[in-house]
Amino acid sequence: MSNWITKACVGISIALLVACGGKETRLEEHYNKGVGYYTSGDYEKARVEFKNVLQIEPKHIASLGYMGQTLEALEDPRGAFAHYQRAVELNPDALDIKTRLVLLAVGPIWRWIWPTKC
């Protein structure tokens, strides 16, 4: 009987390790694809990949930042602001994301003050 229990415990342990590894692997794959799509300018595909990462791990700060940038590129400032804000809540030291948040907030004011591009 104890041999059966030992085998069952080992089987369950292996299944849990594989499941956890699978989650991390999927997260990394979606994140890397998202960065690639963002870098190549395919913002719609990048949005989908970062959304997939955030479904797996809602507190993935790098994906929150990239999602904000992606939504900015797709001209969705409210969505971008929400993702930047969430990233800063999770990591108040994220200076790059704070900077983007401020620039996004003052962007409309700046365009009103200086309507033409240099």
Q: What is the pLDDT along the chain (118 residues), one digit of tens a residue?
A: 455 565 554 455 444 444 555 888 999 999 999 999 999 999 999 999 999 999 999 999 999 999 999 999 999 999 999 999 999 999 999 999 999 998 888 876 666 665 555 4
Give the model's pLDDT for residue 64.
Answer: 97
Least Cα distance to 103 among 77, 76, 83 occurs for: 77
**Cβ neighbours for 70, distance < 8 A, ≥ 6 positions apart:** 34, 38, 43, 46, 47, 50, 80
Q: What is the pTM of this model?
A: 0.74
In the chain, domain spans = 2-104
Distance CA 1, CA 17 (A): 25
Report the residue count for the chain.
118
User: Which of the listed CATH numbers 1.25.40.10, 1.10.3720.10, 2.60.40.10, 3.20.20.60 matches domain 2-104?
Assistant: 1.25.40.10
